[in-house]
Structure 1
């Protein structure tokens, strides 16, 4: 899955677009011809992204938004409908790590913030743009996950639980829309040289990890109108789609 699809004329929404994998997914989408709606809290990062996209001949709309602002997510869906009348691509990438510690030592406010940004905001975004994706001739959604959702390693409880939750949301959404043009899949980037990974593993040599610019383009085939699988997980470490669907 390395071919770059032609996304000319398609409207793509990327959350967490001001840095890391989201930043380079947004750049890759714009380079493939999509108009990118870039959502993040950090205005400086969004402006840098916009400069790079424009310098390469692409186009973007910047949306400074804290995803803890649930009514703001609702308004975003309305604004997209008013301006474009549809959405072709959703990349729900934004997430926070929380703390790496024993479950019993996690502060309630930390756990709640992880769930708010990683789970509640993802659900709210899905709810906001689902009608818009259904208006596309080939709506495509990718929900970012992590191997932590399956390994459930010691001290990773809140983050692992949040990623398991969004995977379940994605797979349920995929099943609901199986007979429509919309396709919903999950993307596990594996260990990547990001700020979040540096917080999680401060003793790790970042130069041993792939850069986000190497990982992000691997998502693009899942966002192509010609990609017809749904309810699956694309694992970068495994280099393939994983069929995690439960038996009927």
Structure 2
């Protein structure tokens, strides 16, 4: 481990690694020395991220996987154990916007899809990766949330509800592992120049927004063995770590 490669010899996994914040974070982790397990649905996108990681001198394992396939997530955990015996960093980035619609107008299939990706898949990842992360001397988890989790904005119900659930999931996981080496935190990127943002706000000028690489640069420190906070949320628009009010 060196100052410019603080994650040398570490194994990191990023979901939704083929574009946007996920791709930028995978590259940042690779540049910091980690071998990155890139999970995504698009074979072409995975090949592109592999090329970009190689361009910064990094290495990657490509995993084409639909996160709605829960059994595949379980199998991935087994493969990681057989190959690496641990997992050092997990960035839970994958998510979908879902329908922007009044709650009563959301189709059940659309509801099931967004819950499956944004919530259930992350819980399955917790089940599959928790033992691996606890085998690391400094397991680090960053789950990507959204400011929508804290706002009851009209027509954003499915997305906001799943992100709120994700935040409670991360905080619960952090509380359950507080006495060990595993640290679990959340990251709110705010408005970022991504395809999801463009879908939600089609009239917005994307060049007025921060690039995914800027968010990735803020995520990286949360992944380092030296980062000792847990159960917190880093708010990128404010540029600071926020604490949740914990129950007595």
**TM-score w.r.t. length of structure 1:** 0.97
In 1, the alpha carbon distance for the partners of 2:36 and 2:64 equals 13
Instruction: Note closer, same or farther for the CA distance 1:168–1:195 as it changes in structure 2 (3 Å cut).
Output: same
In the aligned structure 2, how far is the partner of 1:154 from the partner of 1:112? 20
Q: Which has the higher contact order (CA 8 A, sep 6+)?
A: 1
Partner of 1:206: 206
Q: CA RMSD in A?
A: 1.1
State the match for 1:156 in structure 2: 156
Q: Is the 8 A contact 1:38 1:60 kept in 2?
A: yes
TM-score by length of 2: 0.97
Q: State the shift of 1:245 in Å.
A: 3.7
1:16 matched to 2:16: yes
Count residues in correspondence. Answer: 246
Tell me which stretches of 4 or more aligned residues in structure 1 moved more than 3 Å: none
Corresponding residue number in structure 2 for 1:142:
142
1:144-196 per-residue CA deviation (whole Å, 9 max, x = no partner) reads 10000001211100000000001000000000000000000000000001000
Structure 2: runs of 5+ lacking an equivalent: none
Q: In the TM superposition, what are the counterparts of 1:182-201 in structure 2 within 5 Å? A: 182-201=182-201
TM-fit CA distance, 1:247: 2.7
Shifted more, 194-203 versus 70-79: the winner is: 194-203
Gaps of 5+ in 1: none
Indicate if the aligned counterparts of 1:11 and 1:36 stay in contact, CA closer than 8 A: yes
Distance in 2, Cα, partners of 1:42 & 1:216: 21
Is the CA contact 2:27–2:56 (under 8 Å) kept in the aligned structure 1?
no
**What residue in structure 1 maps to residue 41 of structure 2?**
41
Q: Report the alpha carbon displacement of residue 4 of structure 1 after superposing the two structures with TM.
A: 6.9
